[in-house]
Amino acid sequence: MSKFTTDSGIEIQRVYAPKDRPVEEPGQFPFTRGVHAEMYRSKLWTMRQYAGFSTAEESNKRYHYLLSQGVMGLSVAFDLPTQIGYDSDHALAEGEVGKVGVAIDSLEDMQTLFHGIRLEDVSTSMTINATGYILLSLYVALAKQQGADLKKLTGTIQNDILKEYAARGTYIYPPKPSMRIITDIFAYCNTDVPKWNTISISGYHIREAGSTAAQELAFTLANGKAYCQAAMSQGLDINKFGQRLSFFFNAHNNFFEEIAKFRAARRMWARITQELGATDARAQMLRFHTQTGGSTLTAQQPLNNVTRVTLQAMAAVLGGTQSLHTNGYDEALSLPTEQAAKLALRTQQIIGYESGAVDSVDPLAGSYFVEQLTDEIEEKAWKYIRHIDQLGGSVSAIEQGYMQEEIARASYDYQRHIESGEKIIVGVNKFTEKEAPLADLPRIDDSIRKVQADKLAALRAKRDNTAVKQSLTALRDATVDGSNIMPHVIHAVEQYATLGEVADTLRAIYGEYQG
């Protein structure tokens, strides 16, 4: 569009600011007002819906449905065994296969998951961390089978292991070897898959664990700084790998604080990267995905969650997000139904196409309240970062338990305020009522494990097990001698080595972290 107007015919300016205040331009350092000059006036954010459950066959059906409804990018959820490097037939996988995401054991599962979907034609985000290097290898192997140009692949692996130690727990290896794997991914993608976002530095799970908005901001950026320093210590150029870093933030209910958090995040990251030596503007830009707050959803009066998600999504848009996932209203009770997932997507589409919120870049800039709140949340976050630096950086701060203790304290205080009635949660501690439970919620039963186990048995019987063994030996040798492991992992999964077999190869060398 060349001209933006209200329904009354009033023309919307590109940017607004008080007459006595210099206008900071969007798309220019330090990017407080957005990383692109035109923001949503030229292109809306990527509308994603996080999905993955049961088997690859079932998840594939949901992906085709979401794509048919206007989703712009896929976002894959994996089950817990996949996240922590166990095949579905492993004893420790019992009771968890397919429950909180899709079970992926081998390249066969990945082929099924994306059946009928050309990887060159979609942007795929994969929420995977400890085994991110394996899932990326499976994705690359599938793309090669499809004849795709790897240099055209777009998407993201979360690949943020530091927040796992601090807030979530799905880690495998100790911190230092985990950081080595991450820098190997950076180096590999820099040359072979240059449009792939190699990490999504995640505040989302820090917030879900109970942190405040300021802690979410501080701990996320401190972790991002640690990843940059680790990569630079291996000789990588921040002006190159910095362009493929992305962030992942939570959107909670305090509307203006969330907007201020997003604005402050861009400004802070620009200064952090500048101090680390980044001179390329694209390496200084903080680009981020947002998901509405899962921990804010209530099992009581679940339709109230529609309003919560709408407020949170609007805060993300007014804060300048690059992509967005909106939660289903029933997710406090189960995996989202198709109806709930569709309504969540429609929420984004209504904001994007009907609300007018996208017509001006950073429309709340110049608000005395928003500008001061941006400054104040930034200062709180800098205090945390300075303390983390004094502790020796994020890895050291996590090893000393600092982030974990701060998050636990904030979580305790928040819950105490709810229980005392100081903090009102509608339908939970005020305006409560008796209600009938939602009907027809999806349930994943334990028969999924047998389905996956049977597929694994058949795979092991028909593959070339000698080739698998040789590929895993080569991976072990590369891990020991310090070579980049990614080409070896890709080769192993192309021979149909399983996720658990690859993860176990590194377990035998690095051991498991006992946090």
Q: Is the pLDDT of residue 79 over 70?
A: yes
Question: What percentage of the chain reaches a pLDDT higher than 90?
Answer: 85
Q: For the whole model, what pTM was predicted? A: 0.90
In this predicted model, what pLDDT tens digit does every residue of 280-306 receive, in sequence order?
Answer: 999 999 999 999 999 999 999 999 999
Residue by residue, DSSP assigns 252-298 as -S-HHHHHHHHHHHHHHHHHHHHHHT--SHHHH---EEEEE-GGG--
Spatial separation of the C-alpha atoms in residues 115 and 39, rounded to whole Å: 33
Is residue 22's pLDDT more than 70?
no
pLDDT at 352: 97
Both tokens assigned to 477: 């040798």
Query: Does residue 323 surpass a pLDDT of 70?
Result: yes
Sheet holding 245-251, edge to edge: 196-197, 154-157, 123-127, 73-77, 46-51, 323-325, 288-292, 245-251, 199-202
User: Do the Cβ atoms of 243 and 283 come closer than 8 Å?
Assistant: yes
**Which two three-digit tokens encode residue 90?**
């492993």
User: In angstroms, what CA-CA distances link 206 with 127, 201, 476?
Assistant: 14, 11, 33
- Residue 341 and residue 472: Cα distance in Å, rounded? 40
**pLDDT at position 247:** 96
Give the integer Cα–Cα distance in Å for 386 and 399.
17
Are 108 and 387 in contact by the 8 Å Cβ rule? The answer is no
- Token representation of residue 161: 């292991």
Task: For residues 368 and 16, give the distance between their C-alpha atoms in angstroms, rounded to a whole number.
Answer: 13
- Region 182-204: what's the mean pLDDT? 95
The predicted model gives 313-338 an average pLDDT of 94
pLDDT, residue 321, reads: 98
What is the pLDDT, as a whole number, of residue 1? Answer: 67
Task: Give the chain's mean pLDDT.
Answer: 94
How do residues 388-442 score in pLDDT, each as one tens digit? Answer: 999 999 999 999 999 999 999 999 999 999 999 999 999 999 999 998 888 777 7
Contact 89, 106 (CB under 8 A): no
Q: pLDDT at residue 19 above 80?
A: no
Q: Is the peptide bond before 30 cis (omega within 30 degrees of 0)?
A: yes
The CA-to-CA distance between both ends of the chain, in Å, stands at 53
Residue 336: the pLDDT is 85
Long-range residue pairs from 417-426, CB within 8 A, at least 24 positions apart, any chain: 425/298, 426/301, 426/304
Query: Is the pLDDT assigned to residue 20 strictly greater than 60?
Result: no
DSSP conformation class of 340: H
pLDDT score at 7: 80
CA-CA distance, 72 to 345, in Å (whole number)? 10
pLDDT-based confidence at 381, cuts 50/70/90? very high
Residue 238 has pLDDT above 80, yes or no: yes
Contact assessment for residue 175 and residue 513, using Cβ atoms and an 8 Å cutoff: yes
Give the pLDDT of residue 303: 96
- Residues 265 and 249: beta-carbon distance below 8 Å: yes
Interatomic CA distance for residues 293 and 250, integer angstroms? 6
How many Cα atoms sit within 13 Å of 264 on the Cβ side? 28
Residue 81, pLDDT > 60, answer: yes
Report pLDDT for 2: 74
Q: For 32-59, what is the mean pLDDT?
A: 90
Is residue 160 a contact partner of residue 200, using CB atoms and an 8 Å limit?
yes
Cα(182)–Cα(178) distance, rounded to whole angstroms?
6
Q: How far apart are CA 466 and CA 232, in angstroms?
A: 38
Q: Say if CB 416 and CB 289 are below 8 A apart.
A: no
**Rounded Cα gap, residues 347 and 356, in angstroms:** 14
What's the whole-number mean pLDDT along residues 338-364? 95
User: 111-165, pLDDT tens digit by residue?
Assistant: 999 999 999 999 999 999 999 999 999 999 999 999 999 999 999 999 999 999 9
Which tokens in the block code for residue 47?
A: 């509308």
Q: Average pLDDT of 347-362?
A: 96
**How big is the CA angle at 202 (ends 316 and 386), to the nearest 5 degrees?**
100
| CA-wise closest residue to 225 among 243, 208, 242 | 242
